[in-house]
Amino acid sequence: MIETMDQIFVLLQHWLMGLLPAALQPVAGVVLGVVAIVCLFPALFALTTVFERKGLARIQNRIGPNRVGPLGILQPVADGIKSLIKEDIVPLCADGVVHFLAPLLLVVAVFMGFAVLPMGRNMVLVDMDAGLLFFFAMGASTELSVFMAGWSSRNKYSLLGAMRAVAQMISYEVPLLMSSLSVVMIAGSLSLTKIVEAQNHYTWGLPHWYIFTPWGLAGFLTYAIATTAETNRSPFDLPEGESELVAGYHTEYSGFKFALFFLGEYLAMFSISGLGTTLFLGGWSAPFSFLGWVPSWFWFFSKMMLSIFVFIWMRGTLPRLRQDQLMNFAWKFVLPLTLVNLMVTVLWRFLGDGWQRWVFCSAILIVAYAGIGLAGMRRGHFGPRRYLYAE
Amino acid sequence: MNWAFYLIAALTVAGGLAAVLLKNTVHCALALTVAFAGLALFFLQLDAQFAGFAQILVYIGAVAILIVFAILLTRGSETPKGSVFSRNWLAGLAIAAGVFAVLGWAVLHSASVLPHETAAPTVTVLQIGNALMGRYVLPLEIVALLLTAALIGAVIVALHEKEGSR
């Protein structure tokens, strides 16, 4: 029974495949997997929008959406219908083809990332040898569609938003890749299924997740910071800062194209949270060994939604950064910390088992964190911004 | 040599041609990205996962972005009024044909020099990593040093302009 619940989606897929002639079965298996991903994550997106609006409202002492359906739970249906029947306005001097292609390419590239995420035991669409590299390659190609959207709109706010977005995404991609690299060094593989398997061991009922090691905790923190910036979420939501740029690169998009951008942003959040879960939080493995009877997919999605909750919480709590603060933070604080963390990971790998490596690695990381932080604060130009080129 | 090869080849060549022939510079850069993507697909078709994904990550994720940034931040984004062809296109054509001939000759003659492979080799990422860190570590370090020097040089060039203007 436990086994059946754990593998229920795999069994369902095999049962559906069995209904077809043998020649079609490999194709049907892939199509079923793709359809499942394409249906599931937009549904989660719809739920998350309500969850986010309700949560933000709670933080800001409001009620939030409560008109459509019980407790406003049907709000995304209304939003979907609204975005479908709205007029699709393309600015007169916009670059038609590029303007049309940008949201499509964004959503396609974001969807591709889900192909390599192991969402449960045996639940991965393509088990690639270079899965992590594939994920980051797809993530990097979203930047170009953001630029395409901003440039083709022929609007100063769009272009500024796109430039900010691209600069931010490029800057934070370096710490993102670097912090994932330490996991690859310990697990010894770029395959995400192998990374999860390497964490799926227990000592005294406690899991061997990478977040429970000094380098893993430091790596997870830098990873979390970099993902927040990479998905343009608050406090790094400068590319679409409403108060200064209207809506950034999707200012000139209306109707369903705007909905596609919205969808792409949330899907990117899901996929990058899923990757963080896989790399640092043990993927689909249970948090305690006695909870092993709970289906593996349940753990993956709980951890992913927990990360989404933290994203929403931060959005309700933190104020937006300024552009120069954002860049300084990336290059002068997060990047040195990830570099130190890489070295610490090497030490961890070669110091062998024993309590010494725990003390040693933790000490180096704490000293580095405090040192870089204090040095940055002491240099502290907290005053008004110094413009280098635009004076 | 199947239909997938011809499909990707058509896409890559079309992207490359569009990059040369289109008038708007940003369109050219985007067409060049299509050609990059086609090359990545070629690598993937040859079962070279690492090279293919690295191509996407580096060329589409970084080089293409760098190109469009360079176009936008300099004064090159205006569409030229006249023809996009240079006046001495004949010389350019001759040089391009010469380079293509040398490359083609080298590729066609490489088959006799290299050991003859009967089956397609299966190379994992682990093997590539071991080779880069073992046998080819010196070339890797030299490339890294060169790139660091280029980076520092670029920063110095950009900063120097400011000191001069003050």
The pLDDT, as a whole number, for residue B14 is: 92
Quick check: is B107 in a domain? no
CA angle A372, A319, A111 (to 5 degrees): 90
How far apart (Å, rounded) are the C-alpha atoms in residues A297 and B80? 56
Q: What pLDDT digit, counting tens, does each position of A176-196 carry?
A: 988 998 898 888 888 888 888
pLDDT of the residue at B80: 64
Of A34-48, A127-141, B71-85, B121-135, least confident by mean pLDDT is: B71-85
One domain for residues B67 and B9: yes
The four Cα atoms A151, A152, A155, A157 give a dihedral, to 10 degrees, of -40
Tokens of A277: 């879960």
Q: For A193-207, how does the pLDDT look when each residue is reduced to its tens digit (9 = 90+)?
A: 888 888 888 888 778
Looking at residue A223, its amino acid is: Y
Asked if the Cβ–Cβ distance from A163 to B72 is below 8 Å, we say: yes
Q: Report the DSSP beta bridge partners of residue A202.
A: A207
Q: What are phi and psi of A202, to 5 degrees?
A: -130, 140
Is there a contact between A173 and B61 if contact means CB atoms under 8 Å apart?
yes
Convert the pLDDT of each residue in A43-87 to its tens digit. 899 889 888 888 888 888 888 888 887 888 888 888 888 888 888
Q: Are residues B139 and B66 in the same domain?
A: no
User: Got the DSSP string for B49-102?
Assistant: HHHHHHHIIIIIIIIHHHHHHHHHHTTT-SPPSS-SS-TTHHHHHHHHHHHHHH
Task: From B80, B105, B135, give the residue that closes a domain.
Answer: B80
**Range of the structural domain that residue B156 is part of:** 123-166
Residue B127 included in any domain: yes
Of A123-127, A228-232, A267-271, the range with the highest mean pLDDT is A267-271
Per-residue pLDDT at B19 exceeds 80: yes
Domain for residue B20, yes or no?
A: yes
From chain B, the residues in CB contact with A159 under 8 A are: 72
Model pLDDT for residues B91-102, shown as the tens digit of each residue: 888 999 999 999
What pLDDT score was predicted for residue B120?
67
Question: Is residue B4 domain-shared with residue B76, that is, in the same domain?
Answer: yes
* Same structural domain, B6 and B75: yes
Dump pLDDT digits (tens) for B49-78: 888 888 888 898 888 888 888 887 776 556
Residues 22-51 of B with CB under 8 A from A: 26-27, 30, 33, 49-50
CB contact under 8 A, A134 and B53: yes
Q: Which chain B residue's Cα is nearest to A159?
A: B72
Before B115, cis peptide (omega within 30)?
no
Whether B35 maps to a domain, the answer reads: yes
Output the average pLDDT for chain A: 84
Q: Residue A294: exposed, middle, or buried by beta-carbon count in 10 A (0-12, 13-18, 19+)?
A: middle
Q: What is the mean pLDDT of chain B?
A: 83
Residue B109, in any domain of the structure:
no
Distance CA B51, CA B31 (A): 21
Q: How confident is the model at residue A165 (pLDDT cuts 50, 70, 90)?
A: confident
Is B92 within the bounds of a domain? no
What residues of chain A lie within 8 A of the CB of B27, using their CB? Answer: 98
The CA distance from A369 to B36, in Å, is: 40
* Closest chain A C-alpha to B53 CA, distance in angstroms: 6
Residue B138 lies in a domain: yes
Contact A133 B125 (CB under 8 A): yes
CA distance linking residue B149 with residue B147, whole number of Å: 5
- The residue to which tokens 């030229």 are assigned: B80
B56 closest CB neighbour out of A137, A148, A166: A137
Determine the residue among A128, A144, A346 to mutate to test chain B binding: the one whose Cβ has the most chain B Cβ atoms within 10 Å: A144
Count, residues in chain A: 391
Between vectors from CA A147 to CA A141 and to CA A153, what angle results, nearest 5°? 140
Q: Which of A126, A142, A116 is nearest to A278 (CA)?
A: A116
pLDDT at B166: 44
* Residue B87 confidence (pLDDT) above 80: no
In the beta sheet, which residues pair with residue A207?
Answer: A202
**pLDDT for position A36:** 86
**pLDDT more than 70, % of chain A:** 96
B162 touches chain A (CB under 8 A): yes
Identify the pLDDT of residue B5: 87
**Shared domain check, B76 and B3:** yes
Q: CA nearest A389: which of B65, B157, B158, B156?
A: B158
Q: Which of B29, B61, B80 is the last residue of a domain?
A: B80
The answer to whether B133 contacts chain A (CB < 8 Å) is no
What CATH number has the domain bearing residue B35?
Answer: 1.20.120.1200
**Partners of residue B44 in chain A, C-beta under 8 Å:** none
What is the domain partition of chain A in residue ranges?
A: 77-378
User: Is residue A48 within 8 Å of residue A306, measured between CB atoms?
Assistant: no
Q: How many domains does chain B have?
A: 2
Taking CB atoms and an 8 Å limit, are A143 and B65 in contact across chains?
Answer: yes
- The residue from B45, B80, B115 where one domain ends is B80
pTM reported for the whole predicted model: 0.85
Residue A202: helix, strand or coil by DSSP? Answer: strand
